[in-house]
Chain A
Amino acid sequence: MKFALSPEQEAFAASLDSLLSTQDCDAATRAWASGDHGPGLKIWRRLADQGVAALTTPAHRGGLAEEDGTGATTVDAVLAFEVLGRFCPPGPWTDSAVLPCLLDDEILASTAAGETLVSLAFPPHVPFALDADIADARFLVDGARLRGFAPGTPLASLDPSRHLFEPVPGDELGPALDPARAFDLGALLTAAQLLGAGRGLLEMSVAHAGQRRQYGREIGRFQAVKHLLAEVATALELARPLLHGAAVTADPADVSAAKVACGDAAHLAARTALQVHGAIGYTAEHPLGLRLTRVRALTTAWGTPAVHRHRVLAAIAP
């Protein structure tokens, strides 16, 4: 048993991290929110060049996912999505990553290459389709069947960079390959983004507490502030093994546990970040809000906390 990241995995995550730190993700997110997709799509392609869009696609469809014991694992995908969560670039990343669980088709190759954006609706737990207006392909999981859909009424998300649409069911495309696995993967990758966002918010808060001065000293010297941030660190530290454990076992109870714990930890990180930053964090100019609203949106995306707690109970108390 080796329950720790390999040096290669650490290096992969670090390389994505340094790539995204050179992109202005916050500006791209603001532009995306106002309808200018250009800067966001540029980041999408940069990440796709690093293989991020191909991590869950099998090799015979042009992807990197493990087949015959070699290739990218779900842990690698989770690591990439943690980094996405930390920087919060816009776009339907989860939808594209889940597609290989639903069909085995040529479209996977162009999705893996980052050329095709996918929007996915998965009622009842994913009832609204993200970025369906600019997606190149739209899929609706209708029980055991897969359909196309047209973007219906646009819906305003509390996260302005998430453009949501009512899916209007279209033609049936055939049976969905493995909808249960697709839901689990979607929930897992959403949990990964939540954890990443939580870690980003904690780092932001620690940096702020170390330089913001009140009453003649840095606010990070005050025990009240320290203790809030220590609670956040504890919640995040203990959520991460659940996330990585679920990526290893693919057990639905582990996936749901990870979704609940990462959501709770990220929520605590977001609320604490706002409290530590004070009024400046409440302004639209400050990047904190981009993450705070993303965290709240992802908390209910791909299964609400209540849905996932019930899945845990269904698994452990049959």
Chain B
Amino acid sequence: MDLDLDEAARQFRGEAREWLAAHVPRSPLPSFDTAEGFAAHREWEAALADAHWSVVSWPREYGGRDASLLEWVLFEEEYYAAGAPGRVNQNGIFMLAPTLFSHGTPEQLARILPKMARAEEVWAQAWSEPEAGSDIAALRSTATPADGGWLLNGQKTWSSRAAFADRAFGLFRSDPESARHHGLTYLMADLRAPGVTVRPIPQLDGEPGFAEIFFDDVFVPDADVIGTPGNGWRVAMTTANNERGLSLRSPGRFLAAADRLVSLWSSAGRPESTAARVADAWIGARAYQLYTFGTVTRLASGAELGPESSVNKLFWSHLDVALHETALDLLGPSAELRGPWTDGWLFSLAGPIYGGTDQIQRTIVAERLLGLPKGDR
């Protein structure tokens, strides 16, 4: 058991640190949930991609640099420590791409991934529906077979990035007779196709981070089905584990935030009233980093992410809220003024909701990790 980085990993980290120090924009980009910010983030993503830093763990042929999972974690630490911009295409990179790598055809990989790596195509996730939030199996949007493809009908909602994105991915009910997890198909759709209407929904910060998507006989070719029709639930589980697990909330994000919190506390004169909570935020970020190193080691030796994804998500979503609430309490009356800490706090509040609520995750942990009997929801 060791935490030593080999020479190659240290060199990789040094290279990333050097590039980021030279290229991260001096002043923060506007929010990618505005038209102006979205365009600025596309430019940043293209610059990242030019230097092969946008998708480090992907194969080179799709724009990556074949980095190991450990190197990816190290890159993320450097990325957040450098204060680099949020990833406008994170739904694509961290949710859709792992699904494509597991279930996509070579044609899909070649067509979709290089454009995703450069943010030439930005992806929105289209999971939730008005009647289906965490309960994805209750989906009602339909996919009906048509000549050479499918016709989509229905409504998706609370779709992150959909206000400005190019394409979306999600589950549609392809067998109306089927119940719950069966008869669902995983599809990708063009948000500019005829029959698609996107209605932006402002989030708590006032920016259109969400949108509703209405599908009215929208044609999608067979080439945009991932996996086999009717098997979408199984395909989607890959994505869900990735979202809850490692990829969407890398420990680098929390380590960097905890470091900023410690600096804030120091410069505020180290008040005793928040000392314990500041210490706990750092302890939590360190715990999450080491837990991730353990996960990376297990995955490298062939294990797969299972219910520990839910443990992971419960932990980081709480850590994120606690860390930001501590910062706001520390700021005193100025905490109500808009700034990076209030933005971070608003963002953290979504953690215990998206990707399956805390309640869903706790039930998964209890039943699948602890082996408690299945019961009423």
A positions within 8 Å CB-CB of B: 1-6, 9, 73, 75, 202, 206, 209-210, 217-218, 220-223, 225-227, 229-231, 233-234, 237-239, 241-242, 244-245, 247-249, 254, 257, 260-261, 306, 309-310, 312-313, 316-317
How long is the Cα–Cα vector from A3 to B288 in the complex, in angstroms? 13
Which residues of B are found within 8 Å of A227, using beta-carbon distances?
359, 362-363, 366
* Minimal beta-carbon separation of B105 from chain A (angstroms): 34
**Most central of A75, A218, A225, A312 by chain B CB within 10 Å:** A312
Report if B262 contacts A (CB, 8 A).
yes
How long is the Cα–Cα vector from A239 to B372 in the complex, in angstroms? 22
Q: Which B1-22 residues have C-beta < 8 A from chain A?
A: 1-6, 9
**Smallest Cβ-Cβ distance to A5: which chain B residue:** B1
Which residues of B are found within 8 Å of A75, using beta-carbon distances?
1
**Most central of A5, A9, A220, A222 by chain B CB within 10 Å:** A220
Q: Please state if B294 and A241 are interface contacts (CB–CB under 8 Å).
A: yes
15 further A-B contacts with Cβ under 8 Å, apart from A1-B4, A4-B298, A312-B283, are A1-B293, A3-B290, A4-B1, A5-B1, A73-B1, A223-B375, A237-B308, A239-B287, A241-B293, A242-B286, A257-B286, A260-B279, A309-B283, A313-B278, A317-B265
Number of chain B interface residues as a range: 35 or more
How long is the Cα–Cα vector from A2 to B311 in the complex, in angstroms? 21
How long is the Cα–Cα vector from A310 to B270 in the complex, in angstroms? 11
Contact flag A6-B1 (CB < 8 Å), given A223-B363, A260-B283: yes
**Smallest Cβ-Cβ distance to B272: which chain A residue:** A310
**Smallest Cβ-Cβ distance to B6: which chain A residue:** A1
Q: Please state if B293 and A3 are interface contacts (CB–CB under 8 Å).
A: yes
How long is the Cα–Cα vector from A247 to B369 in the complex, in angstroms? 26
Flag B260-280 by CB within 8 Å of A: 1 or 0 each: 001101100010000110111
Q: Which B182-226 residues have C-beta < 8 A from chain A?
A: none
How long is the Cα–Cα vector from A248 to B293 in the complex, in angstroms? 13
With beta carbons under 8 angstroms apart, the residue of B1, B369, B370 that contacts A248 is B1
**Most central of A5, A222, A245 by chain B CB within 10 Å:** A245
Report if B374 contacts A (CB, 8 A).
yes
Q: Please state if A230 and B362 are interface contacts (CB–CB under 8 Å).
A: yes
Report if B70 contacts A (CB, 8 A).
yes
Which residues of A are found within 8 Å of B290, using beta-carbon distances?
3, 241-242, 244-245
**Smallest Cβ-Cβ distance to A248: which chain B residue:** B3
**Most central of B288, B308, B370, B371 by chain A CB within 10 Å:** B370
Q: Please state if B375 and A221 are interface contacts (CB–CB under 8 Å).
A: yes
